[in-house]
A and B are shown apart, each in its own frame.
Chain A
Amino acid sequence: MSVAGVEVVRKPAGPPVVPTGTVDEKGRPVTIACATCHATKPANPDARVGRPLVMFHQGLGGQHGNLSCASCHNPADGYASLRLADGKGVPYTDVMTLCAQCHGPQYRDYQHGAHGGMTGHWDLTKGGRARNNCVDCHAPHAPKYPTVFPAFGPNDRFQTGGGHE
């Protein structure tokens, strides 16, 4: 399990692939890399959400500030990587570097163990620790933490309602 002294940050999968909706002869879904299409079809640089698009990506709704697709997705290598604000590419697995550009305070808190869930040891000399990365909890295209239904509440005798209007 966890190894002493080691803090493991979960990493997202590599570059995304797009399902084509078909399967190959072995039943595996056929997917294609971004560049397959984008080599010939230039992206709309103004696009902010997927919905208005006519081919692919229509399901990508949500809201992430005023960012456009190209703010984060790197056209330079056929969208196989992410793009930092200075134009440099960064692999998908290092997505946190990208997020940190805008979300400095959160990234700082994260680095100090004060943001993002973790499991394992507080005392790293006794064992390791596993941590989430940004996109484990925040969907990149709709990063606001979703509303959830809470786990069961107290069931004390004689406690009726909240006690409050």
Chain B
Amino acid sequence: MKKMWKGNHAIAEAAMRAGCEFYAGYPITPQTEVGEYLSSRMPELGRRFLQAENEMSAIYMIFGAYACGMRSMTSSSGPGFSLKQEGIAYLCANNFPSVLVNVQRWGPGLGTLDSSQTDYLRDTRGGGNGDYRVIVYAPNSIQETVDLMYNAFDVAEKYRNPVEILSEAALGQMMEPVEFPPFKERKEDLGWTFDGTDRPHGRIDNPGKPGALRAKVEAIMANEQRWENYMVEDADYVFVAFGLPSRTSRNAVDLLREQGIKAGLIRPITVWPFPFDAFKEIPGTVKGIISVESTDAGQLVEDVALATKRMCRGNVPVYGLFSGQKIPKTKEIVTYVNGILSGENKEVF
């Protein structure tokens, strides 16, 4: 039987089910309930919870714990996540896994507490110094948040790379019916962790790093793209949207189809690796691709344009509906498409 759960509580409980043994974090709206929930839940399960003195110490505590093989995670929102970037770069430099949660709020700077997707480019491009990528999942429901979190540690350990759950303020604060998977635990040794012996820790020397990173990135791009397509195969206009805007976009597809306009939706579930393969289904007759996102000036639209260039023949126009610090409403999306048809809305790329 499904029960109503708040997004932030559900992601925390899912981490417990996935075998998370250690959490360190620092409060920030709209994700504070993640830590709040874990502060009582983790001791109850005999696991370690720590409210760090700031975001940077939290990420380095995760670094230390994962160096010893403990399933560890941290969470924050936009501004706090910025402070963690140095630590994330070090996690990647050492090929350490970890699970990171970013419940986005509108930025830059302190910004506001409104729901948005303005951290997209930072989080899909690594975010810190150096060349690396973090595997980023962008769920669009609380159930999907739970399901992705449940596998996040496995994926992070498989590639020895951080995995991020990119949530949104509204997705963290809202409630939906949820069913949880059973508790699991990783019993086997990861093979490379610091265990008190002098076994090799799998460190890669600097000259070997470029090749190793390239091989890892290629493997992740080949194996880990996730997406959901809706009515794309005969669409004249294809929306690309992740997270909550993907839900209003899907409703817009239904409304437009009722009006005789053939719309479709590509919903990236991984935003890195970006699901280029999802674009294979777009028909050659497509008239436009539309990025629908809660950003101010367009971020996702850049990946949409790259994917369109690579996967579609001809010069298909790429449009962008940027709703700023709110979720685009179904009607706004429909109106935007009508604006394309009337020539009022121009392509971005």
Asked if A pairs with B, the answer is: no
A: residues with CB less than 8 A from B are none
B: residues with CB less than 8 A from A are none
